[in-house]
Amino acid sequence: MILDYQNLFANDQAVTATAVSENVVALGPEGADGAGRKIVIAVTEDFATLTSLAVVLQTDDNSAMSSAVDVLTTQAFAAAELVAGFLIEIPVPAIEMEAYARLNFVVAGSDATAGTLKAGIVLDTQTNG
């Protein structure tokens, strides 16, 4: 799996409370669909004290994300799963997306006292373990 800097939503971003990704990714012209692409989120530092974390993919027609629309929401991942090396793979839906996208990291329970993520769009993931 190769992560391209221009397709990174987060680069070791600390997520201690509900927050949007530090980067907005330009998807190309409006109307492009994400079919065949995946979003990969890697835990780079163990999370502590939160109950769970869910991820929401959002899209908008402007980079300020002033009228962002939720496209999909993952399941909530329990704190016990959120250890360094844990990967979340999200297939980008084969629907028309707007020109820009970001992730919203939704913390449930107490705010986290530790935990970082790296997240980006990839064409494929490594499957040979």
Note whether residue 16 is domain-resident. yes
- Residue 37 has a pLDDT of 80
CATH number for 87: 2.60.120.1110
Nearest to 101 by CA among 45, 52, 38: 38
Note whether residue 127 is domain-resident. no
Note whether residue 54 is domain-resident. yes
The predicted model scores a pTM of 0.91
pLDDT tens digits, 87-121:
999 888 877 788 899 999 999 999 999 999 999 99
Question: Which strands, in side-by-side order, build the sheet including 8-14?
Answer: 8-14, 114-122, 38-48, 87-91
- Residue 124 has a pLDDT of 67
- Residue 118 has a pLDDT of 96
DSSP letters along 58-120, please? EEESSTT-TT-EEEEEPPPEEGGG-STT-EEEEEPPSSB--SEEEEEEEEESSPPSEEEEEEE
Residues of the chain with pLDDT under 70: 1, 29-36, 124-129
Per the structure, the count of domains in the chain is: 1
- Residue 129 has a pLDDT of 59
Note whether residue 128 is domain-resident. no
Check if the beta carbon of residue 102 is closer than 8 Å to that of residue 65.
yes
What is the extent of the structural domain holding 57? 5-122
Note whether residue 53 is domain-resident. yes
Residue 35 buriedness (CB in 10 A; 0-12 / 13-18 / 19+): exposed
